[in-house]
Amino acid sequence: MSGFSATWLALREPLDLAARNKEVEAAFFEVLPAEAPKILDLASGAGSTVAALAGEKPDIQWTLSDYDADLLSVAASRKYATRPASLQTREIDLAANLMELPFDGVDAVTTSAFLDLVSETFLTQLVEAIVLSGKPFLASLTYDGRTGFEPVAPLDQELRDAMNRDQQTDKGFGPALGPKAAEQAIALFEARGYRVISGTSDWIIGPQHEDFVAEFLPGWVGAGVKQGAQKSRADDWLKSRRSQIADGAFNMTVGHLDLAALPA
């Protein structure tokens, strides 16, 4: 088990699917082989990348990787709107064994909601593996540090700053890049001669996402408190946000960046 439950990933998936940047995806699709591309997906969780891309390109042959066997089994057994051509899973601790993955044996590499968890050392190793194999890479939904609320409240910025500090703590790969991950990945790929197309993929959260926010906000505030936000003020902030949610008067955006890194 990882810290990511299948229930949580299912709650966020509709927001992820709506947010994904179609231009970035189109640039990635353009360089794939026309028929039956083999794609290696990193940190696949419950198969959100498959759910996102299968409709656009149903003949993908997927290899999903993650260290959470339960999530991989959800990914392997779930019913996708469009059934992929084939799907196999590989249980692997990416922090320890990244280089065991078959970068040379696939046509492309993908990931989603993952790069912000990793360290600079791991990201450099990953970019190196992708560049040496000459494969295109699609990284979707990397958190980029922007979080906004409507209506605004005095504590928003302090909580967001604290939360962003928490994003840079160790998530199993050493100190995480957090909000700096996508920009760092772009710089590393460009330095190796790759062409990078990037664009935002923000979550636009409104009254219709009440179940998601009920789960998301307490964790978000808790992480901020862990990083120094004052608990009593944070509790008041959450109480007031809960009443806005109940009134259908709460909106939030969470900034992400998608990027396609393509061999020259």
Ligand X SMILES: C[S@@+](CC[C@H](N)C(=O)[O-])C[C@H]1O[C@@H](n2cnc3c(N)ncnc32)[C@H](O)[C@@H]1O
Binding residues for ligand X, rule: CB under 6 A, are 2, 4, 9, 16, 43-45, 48-49, 66-68, 71, 93-95, 112-114, 117, 172
CB of 154 to ligand X, least distance (A): 30
Choose between 20 and 237: whose C-beta lies nearer to ligand X. 20
C-alpha dihedral (244, 245, 248, 251), degrees to nearest 10? 90
Which of 122, 250 has the CB closer to ligand X? Answer: 122
Closest separation between CB of residue 234 and ligand X, Å?
23
- CB-nearer residue toward ligand X: 70 or 235: 70
Residue 22 is given by DSSP the state: H
Q: Kind and range of the H or E element at 41?
A: strand 38-42
CB of 220 to ligand X, least distance (A): 14
CB of 243 to ligand X, least distance (A): 29
Q: Give the shortest CB-143-to-ligand X separation in angstroms.
A: 9
Nearer to ligand X, 9 or 177 (CB): 9
Give the C-alpha distances (Å, rounded to integers) separating 172 from 7, 16, 168, 241.
21, 23, 11, 31
CB nearer to ligand X: give 56 or 93: 93
Q: Find where tokens 């160790």 sit.
A: 170
Q: How far apart are CA 151 and CA 58, in angstroms?
A: 41
Residue nearest to ligand X (CB): 45
Q: How many CA atoms lie within 13 A of 126 on its CB side?
A: 28
CB atoms within 10 A of CB 142: 29
